[in-house]
Homo-oligomer: A and B are copies of this chain.
Amino acid sequence: MRKKNSTNAVNEQFLFQVCELNSALAMISGRWKSQIVYSISQGNNRFHLLKKELPHISEQVLGRQLKELEKHAIIIKKEIPGTVPIGIEYILTGKGKDLVPILKTLCDWGKSYAEARKITI
């Protein structure tokens, strides 16, 4: 759990208040998180589908990351009516949908410089 008055927590809050950039990054920078968002946007919107997409993730970690994405209102959980036991779907919110093209841009940025050995100014 987070300590309330650790230097770490205080510094985090300071950065959040300097610029929204820092809170934005905090929301998406956990392990697996942006990959989960991307997978959901591609239609892998069920717990078991995400498990298949990310074979190394444990169910416990997957559950935790989904919960955090939900906390930040990037995804919402929706029960699929008429399923027994009740199935759960994950849906991107408006916020989540707006995030996807930004992740795409970041991905392209990563790709353009992945091979580049020579540093340019």
Residues of A within 8 A of B (CB): 7-8, 10-12, 14-15, 18-25, 27-29, 31-32, 34-35, 38, 56-57, 73, 76, 91-95, 98-99, 102-103, 105-114, 116, 119-121
User: Could you say how many copies of this chain the assembly holds?
Assistant: 2
What are 28 inter-chain pairs, A to B, with CB distance below 8 A? A7-B56, A11-B32, A11-B56, A12-B31, A20-B107, A20-B110, A21-B34, A21-B35, A21-B110, A22-B34, A22-B35, A23-B114, A24-B106, A24-B107, A24-B109, A24-B110, A27-B110, A29-B29, A93-B120, A93-B121, A94-B119, A95-B109, A95-B113, A95-B119, A95-B120, A99-B109, A102-B105, A102-B109
